[in-house]
Structure 1
Amino acid sequence: KSWKDFLLGWHDEGVSYEEMSARCLAMGHEISPRAISRLLALPLEIVKTPYTPRSSTIPPDKLEVVKQYIVDLYDEDDEVRMTEILLGIERKFGLRVTEYPVDRIRKEAGLGAESTRYGHSVREANRAPRVAWCRAQKAAEATFRKHVFTDESMVQLDPNSRFVWVHSTARHRRIKSKFKHPQKVLIWGGISWKGVTTLEIFNGSCRVDAPEYCKILRDGYVEW
């Protein structure tokens, strides 16, 4: 027996960690009482879960229902992750599949990855009234001759495209230099039946609060 074989028996006998350390030293192995406590805290046997590989195919008798399940998931949540899909298939159909059949089903269903675009959201309570107002204006053939439409936009002077198109043999070209704080400006302007307003240009770091916006209206709109 080695010194490790005696530790459990000593522990059952109520021997202190300090005494165990001294006995191990007498057997020719130096170990601290703290290390002995950590060693005894380890599980006696490590139970390993048997490995079952995921299949790269879906049985023909379940293909259509799995395909519809995947399409429905993306209809409900277009940001659903692959891991959630695989776990859902396993829970619902008892199938452990890889990402390959899911990717193939997505392509067959016409689902493709697109870059996310964000915009201002209209509250559910305001959607119907806004649509009704627009339809009423259209029915009345409104020309909006007395209205001015204004907007502002931040313009960045450096390129900031999220995608590049390069040859597979020249993938290094996708690496572009980027400034930590790129130069940018805020531009405000308006259009109407009579023409366009003057453009108001501000530094990109300018904070457009209520006083600043009133100044924009006074200089760019009222005088116009």
Structure 2
Amino acid sequence: KCIRGDIRGMRDDGMTYRQIAQDLRRRKHKISASTVRRIIINKGLRAPRRPYAPRSVPVALHPTVKRLVDKIYEEESTRTTNEIIELVEEQTGVKVTRDVVANIREELELNHYRVRYGHSVRIVNQLIRMVYCERMLDSGEQYLTHVFTDETYIQLGKNARTCFVKSRHDATHPAPKHVPKILLWGGISVRGPSPIKILRGKDSIVDSGKYQWILHESYLDWSR
């Protein structure tokens, strides 16, 4: 009321809407020229926005659903939106929409990042290998006596690409330990592919001795 009285008084003194707004801002009142105009013509201040209350979640249950979503993401940050909807309905009986889940994530300050996994084995840059081979081809190398070999692990486990976390650091997940996995080893040359060696369990841990065993078992007879 005091501000309204001041505004009308300054208007009676001949000040413009812009001048009134500038004078009030100097007094630490956040107000615009359009708001001054609304007050002068008796429309009053704009009604403040109502706090967010999703229609698909009863007001009384919203804090409960919010805490549940926070707990779910804390336990497993790679949950999809559909999984969140199913878990919320299963535990609270409330059917929420995708927009509600997105709004709750925003309230919880959860950010969307790509998942990074720590590796137990150093990954060699494949591009460097490719560039080297292309340069050798340009120099006239035909690889008639070469055999290219490589090995790869296939492991059982979730390999999510995205997650919702509160800090970028949390987006890096540790490499899983003791996960079921197999090792595939094979080679290829101008004559075609070599036999594929499959190792399971503890046998898939390859050291120098195990690698020599693979060469004797799967490479020597084939290369002759």
Give yes or no for TM over 0.5: no
TM-score, normalising length: structure 2: 0.34
More RCO (CA 8 Å, sep 6+): 2
More strand by share: 2
With the length of structure 1 as denominator, give the TM-score of the two structures. Answer: 0.34
